[in-house]
Chain A
């Protein structure tokens, strides 16, 4: 989870809270003296490739306009909420009976509700359900597809937690119509854990919409809100009014351990900065077409929207192959360590075990001294959690 170049401080929780990660990132910035290179409270308003002078014009919220040779688009993709298209939802949002999970901070503020529905099947939905379970008299969890289809598991239904299907219509008086025709009445609040849209409000030289499936690659660079396409090495746009070696879009993949991946993506960016000719556009294009084809086979569809939705959600071990590929491109040798792959494959088990330890009040005991002797301590801890889980399963 941590940047390989900067481990978490010893005794950090195995699954740290946002505040702990924030402190860690501030520490990273301080340790490597990065703050001198950051201009805070300065928003980028407009980024535009000037075809005449062949450089980027960047307009800031301060009114300044500066010229650059290379732009790294690192604005993230977890800030513009994605809302589902369902009849009647807008009036629920307007009246405050529905909210996006972007606003969710902690369960405390919700305890007075009798019935809460969480919408969504991703990590946010699962986290919020875990938070609210037992606090709310009735917690409904609306999942878009059956859990087995996307390879995740949800808690079993209980008296206070029940999974329901997709919502078709939000009606007056707090009732919702579900896909199977049934109605859930008296819902006090809906939390929409329905994800975020990729969004680059400062950048107009990108087309909004779903790109047609290659071959051939589309003639323009697309933002489908689910992915940016086509990007060589998931970084460099092969289409657009600007050279692919003048701009990069790192950090857009889902289902990855982000921090280690980020550093490797920058190594590829540094390579392109050093030698733009190093980027073999043809072989990158071939790889993109091959991945589209593989996804079409895997999903059994040639619907461009379904491929757009699937594009950035990498397969379980794909992040390791991708990091190897980035390092090869940057002229570095790297292979994932055995324990890293083992922990990644078992991250759901690790999380469950760790949360159980936290609930039992023994987290302090387990984490005592861990990290004092470097990375090996974390490996030992992870392995003993996994063995604990295996023993329990065997009993």
Chain B
């Protein structure tokens, strides 16, 4: 059973049995930690809709969004920048 993958059915030729495994990812469904990358319009919508679920309200799902800048808004959050200076949203432009 070197190739054993959770959540699938197997025919074990030695024992002549079907083995049905349980996916641990499914069974720990009760609690979920959700990471949201970015708090632009998309990240905020994710927080809003998920925060309304009974799973989040009962504390079973935990949400956190990480935003690299000092405010939400994403592409709409543009502190005025002078011409030819780097916009703050771009970190890896020269990569």
* A80/B45 in contact, CB under 8 A: no
CB distance from A281 to the nearest CB of B (A): 12
A81 to B29, CA, bound (A): 39
How many angstroms between the C-alpha atoms of A258 and B72 in the bound complex? 16
Judging by beta carbons under 8 Å apart, are A39 and B49 in contact? no
Question: Which secondary structure dominates chain A's binding surface?
Answer: mixed
| A209-267 interface (Cβ within 8 A of B) | 243, 245-246, 250-251, 258-259, 262-263, 265-267
Structural contact, A72 and B43, CB atoms closer than 8 A: yes
A54-90, CB < 8 A from B: 54, 56, 58, 60-61, 66-76, 78-81
The reply on B8 being an interface residue by CB < 8 A is no
Q: Report the count of interface residues on B (CB-CB < 8 A).
A: 58
What is the bound-complex CA distance between A350 and B34, given in angstroms? 40
Question: Closest Cβ of chain A: how far from B92's Cβ, in Å?
Answer: 6
- In the assembled complex, which residues on chain B have CB atoms less than 8 Å from the CB atom of A394? none
Task: Report the minimum CB–CB distance from A78 to chain B (whole Å).
Answer: 5
Cα distance A53–B75 when bound, in Å? 35
Q: Is the beta-carbon distance between B37 and A34 smaller than 8 angstroms?
A: no
Tell me the bound Cα distance from A68 to B92 in angstroms: 26
Interface assignment of A379: CB less than 8 Å from any CB of chain B: no
Cα A196 to Cα B75 in complex, Å, equals 12
Known: A69-B34, A80-B93. A37 touches B47 (CB 8 A): yes
In contact, A266 and B55 (Cβ under 8 angstroms): no
Q: Is A381 part of the contact surface with B, judged by Cβ < 8 Å?
A: no
A residues near B71, Cβ cutoff 8 Å: 26, 40
Q: Is B42 an interface residue (CB 8 A)?
A: yes
Nearest residue, chain B, Cβ from A109? B83
Interface residues of A in 259-297 (CB under 8 A from B): 259, 262-263, 265-267, 269-270, 273-277
- Of listed B36, B68, B77, residue having the most chain A CB within 10 A: B36
Q: Cβ of A40 and Cβ of B70 under 8 Å apart?
A: yes
**Contact partner, B42, options A33, A76, A109, A267, Cβ 8 Å:** A76
Interface residues of A in 12-70 (CB under 8 A from B): 18, 21-22, 25-26, 28-29, 32-35, 37-44, 47, 54, 56, 58, 60-61, 66-70
B9 within 8 A of A: no
Q: Nearest chain-A residue to B77 (Cβ)?
A: A22
Determine if A154 is an interface residue (Cβ-Cβ < 8 Å).
no
Structural contact, B35 and A58, CB atoms closer than 8 A: yes
How distant is A250 from chain B, measured CB to nearest CB, in Å?
A: 6
Given contacts A67-B33, A105-B80, 9 further A-B contacts (CB under 8 A): A18-B76, A29-B44, A47-B35, A60-B66, A74-B36, A103-B83, A105-B81, A243-B25, A267-B49
> Chain B: residues with CB nearer than 8 A to chain A?
23-26, 28-29, 31-51, 53, 55, 61, 63-78, 80-81, 83-85, 87, 89-93, 95
Identify the 3 closest CB pairs spanning chains A and B, nearest first.
A43-B68, A262-B45, A266-B49
Q: Could you list some 13 contacts between A and B, CB below 8 A?
A: A3-B45, A34-B72, A37-B47, A37-B64, A37-B65, A38-B66, A72-B34, A74-B38, A103-B84, A259-B41, A263-B48, A263-B49, A276-B23
Chain A residues within CB distance 8 Å of chain B: 3, 5, 18, 21-22, 25-26, 28-29, 32-35, 37-44, 47, 54, 56, 58, 60-61, 66-76, 78-81, 96, 99, 102-103, 105, 109, 199, 201-202, 243, 245-246, 250-251, 258-259, 262-263, 265-267, 269-270, 273-277
